[in-house]
C-alpha cells in the first residue's frame, strides 16, 4: 500500500521508521504543519536505507488537496494532533483514501466528524494502536464474560515522569467495568510501559501482561490496521472490528 503520514513527533518518527523498513508498504510522504528540517526525506533523516520517497511536505510547500492529487496514496495514517483530521479529512474522503487515526485524545467534536466522514470513507480510529494492547482488551473482556464474578485488578507501570493514570489502563478498566480504584499506578525509573490485568479466582490466578519495548509498536499496529482495511467498505471501524473475524471457527 502507498501510505501518507501526518505527524512527525516521537510516535510519528517511529511509525515512519517501521513503514520505511516494510517490504509490503511504501511511505509516500510525511505532512507536517511546519517543516524546518533540512534533510530531504524521512529515510535520510532517520538513517534508514529505503527506496520509498518519504518526502516532507508542509502547508508552506503545498496544500493537502494538491498533495493528495499529485502524490496519491491508499491510506493516510494520522499521528499528528486532534486538529489534524480537519486538514485532510474531506479531501481524503473524496479521493477514497482510507483514514487511519491513532490520535489518543479526541473530543466529541472530532469523533463526530470521523463518523460523518465514515459515511463515504473507510475510517479507522484507535487511541492505542498497538496489536498487543488491543488483543489484551479483547481477551480480557472475553474472560470477564466467562467468569463475571472474578476479581479484577489492573497494574500499570511507566517511567517516573509520566503524569496521571495511563489512558490505556483507564480504557482497560472501562471495558471490564471495574472501578478506577482497581488501577494501581507504578512510576519508577525508565519503565517504557507495562500493563497487567490480574484475574483472581478462588484457587487460581490468570494474568494478562503487555510490555512495550518501543514506540515502533505503533507502526506495526498501524500497518496491521492498514492491511485489514484494504477491502473494507466505507464505515467506521475500531481495532476490535479487525480482530473479531479471527474468532470465526
**Binders of a copy of itself in range 147-166 (CB under 8 A):** 147, 150-153, 155, 157, 159-160
Q: Which residue, 17 or 28, is less far from a copy of itself as judged by CB? A: 17
Residue from the set 23, 36, 105, 145 that interacts with a copy of itself by CB under 8 A? 145
Sheet with 183-187, edge to edge strand ranges: 183-187, 151-158, 194-200
235 lies in the binding site for a copy of itself (CB under 8 A)? no
Q: How many CB atoms lie within 10 A of CB 52?
A: 21
Site string for a copy of itself, 118-137 (x = CB under 8 A): ------------xxx--xx-
Distance CA 16, CA 7 (A): 10
Closest CA to 214 of 125, 135, 132: 132
- Number of other residues whose CB lies within 10 A of the CB of residue 5: 29
- Burial class from Cβ neighbours inside 10 Å (0-12, 13-18, 19+) for residue 33 reads middle
Among 28, 126, 168, 212, binds a copy of itself (CB under 8 A): 212
Residue 211 in contact with a copy of itself, rule: CB under 8 A: yes
CA-nearest of 88, 67, 63 to 7 is: 88
Helix (H, G, I), strand (E, B) or coil at 85: helix
Residue with cell 490520535: 103
Residues 62 and 4 sit within 8 Å (Cβ to Cβ): no
* Alpha-carbon separation of residue 124 from 36, 38, 121 (angstroms): 30, 32, 10
Q: Specify the residue, 98 or 195, whose C-beta has the smaller distance to a copy of itself.
A: 195
Stretch of 42-50, 63-71, 79-87, 241-249 contacting a copy of itself, by CB under 8 A: 241-249
Does position 230 interact with a copy of itself (CB under 8 A)? The reply is no
**Does 3 participate in binding a copy of itself (rule CB under 8 A)?**
no
- Residue 143 found at the interface with a copy of itself (CB under 8 A): yes
The answer to whether residue 178 forms part of the interface with a copy of itself (CB under 8 A) is no
- For 73, the grid coordinates are 496514496
Pick one of 51, 60, 202, 231: the residue that binds a copy of itself (CB under 8 A). 202
Nearer to a copy of itself, 73 or 208 (CB): 208
Interface contacts to a copy of itself, rule CB under 8 A: 130-132, 135-136, 138-139, 142-143, 145-147, 150-153, 155, 157, 159-160, 184-192, 198-217, 219-220, 243-244, 246-247, 249
Amino acid at each position: 500500500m502507498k501510505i501518507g503520514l501526518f505527524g512527525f513527533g516521537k510516535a510519528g518518527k517511529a511509525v515512519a521508521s517501521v513503514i520505511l523498513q516494510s517490504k509490503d508498504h511504501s511511505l509516500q510522504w510525511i505532512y507536517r504543519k511546519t517543516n524546518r528540517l533540512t534533510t530531504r526525506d524521512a529515510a535520510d533523516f532517520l538513517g534508514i536505507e529505503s527506496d520509498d520517497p518519504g518526502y516532507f511536505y508542509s502547508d508552506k510547500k503545498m496544500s493537502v488537496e494538491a498533495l493528495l492529487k499529485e502524490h496519491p496514496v491508499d491510506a493516510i495514517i494520522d499521528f499528528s494532533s486532534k486538529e489534524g483530521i480537519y486538514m485532510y479529512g474531506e479531501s481524503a474522503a473524496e479521493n477514497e483514501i482510507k483514514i487511519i487515526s491513532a490520535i489518543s485524545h479526541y473530543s466529541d467534536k472530532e469523533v463526530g466528524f470521523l463518523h460523518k466522514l465514515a459515511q463515504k470513507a473507510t475510517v479507522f480510529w484507535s487511541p492505542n494502536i498497538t496489536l498487543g494492547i488491543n488483543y489484551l482488551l479483547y481477551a480480557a473482556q472475553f474472560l470477564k464474560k466467562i467468569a463475571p464474578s472474578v476479581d479484577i485488578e489492573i497494574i500499570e507501570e511507566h517511567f517516573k515522569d509520566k503524569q496521571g493514570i495511563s489512558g490505556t489502563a483507564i480504557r482497560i478498566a472501562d471495558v471490564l467495568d471495574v472501578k478506577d480504584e482497581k488501577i494501581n499506578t507504578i512510576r519508577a525509573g525508565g519503565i517504557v510501559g507495562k500493563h497487567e490485568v490480574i484475574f483472581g479466582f478462588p484457587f487460581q490466578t490468570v494474568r494478562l501482561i503487555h510490555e512495550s519495548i518501543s514506540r515502533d509498536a505503533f507502526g506495526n499496529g498501524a500497518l496491521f490496521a492498514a492491511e485489514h482495511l484494504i477491502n473494507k467498505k466505507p464505515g467506521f471501524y475500531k481495532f476490535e472490528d479487525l480482530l473479531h473475524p479471527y474468532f470465526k471457527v
